[in-house]
């Protein structure tokens, strides 16, 4: 067997064989490849000598592949496709979701982008889904998370360099029992901050971003917040609101979910314009922000 020479197996030779086979002509291949006809003929002979078999025969229809040539042609096409894939993977410097660790608030993953997180759950390097805001902020600040989805207002708790893309805004709603006359007697189109002060409010503990955001809003408008009773379980909260004078405060996406599933017992009324929830995507680099944002756009929920 002849010694294998690098030029005997070069990608160029595969291109030449495929082009001659496709065009059935050395002359036409010469024009397409910008090579002289003798150079192409020499390279075909080089391949035939190396493999010890004839790859082409001349016929009235032009250059025809032999049986061995047809097998070589099929394998050459496959090798070139693999080569292009290899080259693309080396040159492609874009990030993939498999490289990323993402954190998200449960209210966002469950009610705003549920299908996105269902589809990417097993593809991400790591994912953190929580209703505790500090379980996103601390790992992000410590570079343990590459990107997080949370309320925009908490950007002030982030340290170091980060990049933000605001995704949407939604209002907050008071969720209450249809039997709760303290709310049903309120005649305005929305519940004001002053009216909310008079209600018994049931909320998740202070680790909850909704709780924190409501408290901050009252600070910003220089008013005392309503009295808040804390409870840590979603279903218990719903049950208590249904059967008591308590109300809860939820962003629209959560409020709609809770009321829809308890339509006979619960109602909802929007808080005034002061109370708006803004949600952002935060990322460590512009590249990460772009990759995640482009994926999220495919699952836009109409916000």
Using CA of residue 249, residue 254, residue 256, residue 259, what is the dihedral sign?
negative
How much is the pTM?
0.61
87-91, 247-251, 254-258 — which is least confidently predicted? 87-91
Alpha helices in the chain (DSSP H): 11-23, 26-33, 37-51, 67-91, 106-111, 114-120, 134-141, 181-184, 193-197, 209-220, 234-242, 252-260, 286-297
* HEC-encoded secondary structure of 90-102: HHCCCCCHHHCEE
Model pLDDT for residues 206-248, shown as the tens digit of each residue:
878 888 888 988 999 999 999 999 987 767 788 899 999 999 9
pLDDT digits (tens, 9 = 90+) for 21-58: 989 999 888 888 888 999 999 989 888 888 889 999 98
Per residue in 161-214, pLDDT tens? 999 999 989 999 999 999 999 999 998 999 999 999 999 999 888 878 888 888
**The predicted structure's pLDDT at residue 229:** 92
Q: Has residue 188 been placed in a domain?
A: yes
Same domain, 63 and 120: no
DSSP summary character for residue 159: -
What is the C-alpha to C-alpha distance for residues 59 and 34, in angstroms, rounded to an integer?
24
- Please tell me whether residues 122 and 64 are part of one structural domain: no
Residue 291 in any domain: the answer is yes
The answer as to whether 302 is a domain residue is no
pLDDT in tens, 84-97: 666 555 544 567 78
133 and 255 co-located in one domain: no
Whole-angstrom Cα distance, residue 79 to residue 95? 26
Do 213 and 237 sit in the same domain of this protein?
A: yes
Question: Which residues form the domain of 128?
Answer: 97-168+278-297
Is 289 within the bounds of a domain? yes
Can you give the CATH number for the domain in which 233 is found? 3.40.190.290
Q: Would you place residue 9 in the very low, low, confident or very high pLDDT band (cuts 50, 70, 90)? A: low
165/225 Cα distance (integer angstroms): 30
């Amino acid at each position: 067997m002849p010694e294998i020479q690098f030029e005997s197996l070069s990608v160029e030779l595969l291109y030449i064989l495929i082009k001659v086979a496709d065009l059935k002509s050395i002359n036409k291949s010469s024009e397409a490849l910008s090579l002289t006809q003798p150079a192409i003929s020499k390279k075909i002979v080089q391949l035939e000598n190396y493999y010890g078999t004839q790859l082409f025969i001349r016929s009235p229809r032009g250059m025809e592949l032999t049986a061995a040539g047809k097998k070589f042609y099929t394998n050459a096409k496959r090798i070139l496709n693999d080569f292009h894939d290899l080259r693309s993977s080396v040159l492609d410097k874009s990030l993939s979701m498999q490289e990323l660790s993402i954190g998200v608030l449960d209210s966002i993953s469950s009610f705003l982008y549920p299908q996105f997180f269902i589809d990417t759950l097993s593809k991400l390097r790591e994912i953190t889904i929580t209703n505790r805001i500090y379980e996103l902020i601390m790992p992000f600040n410590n570079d343990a998370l590459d990107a997080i989805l949370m309320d925009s207002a908490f950007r002030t708790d982030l340290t170091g360099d980060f990049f933000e893309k605001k995704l949407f805004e939604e209002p907050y709603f008071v969720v209450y029992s249809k039997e709760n006359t303290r709310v049903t007697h309120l005649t305005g189109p929305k519940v004001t901050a002053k009216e909310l002060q008079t209600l018994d409010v049931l909320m998740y503990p202070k680790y909850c971003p909704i709780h924190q955001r409501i408290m901050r809003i009252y600070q910003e408008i220089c008013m005392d917040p309503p009295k808040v009773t804390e409870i840590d379980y979603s279903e218990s909260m719903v049950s208590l609101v249904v059967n008591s004078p308590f109300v809860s405060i939820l962003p629209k996406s959560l409020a709609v979910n809770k009321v829809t599933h308890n339509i006979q017992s619960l109602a909802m009324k929007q808080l005034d314009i002061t109370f708006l929830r803004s949600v952002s995507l935060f990322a460590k680099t512009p590249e990460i922000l772009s990759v995640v944002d482009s994926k999220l756009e495919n699952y836009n929920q109409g916000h």
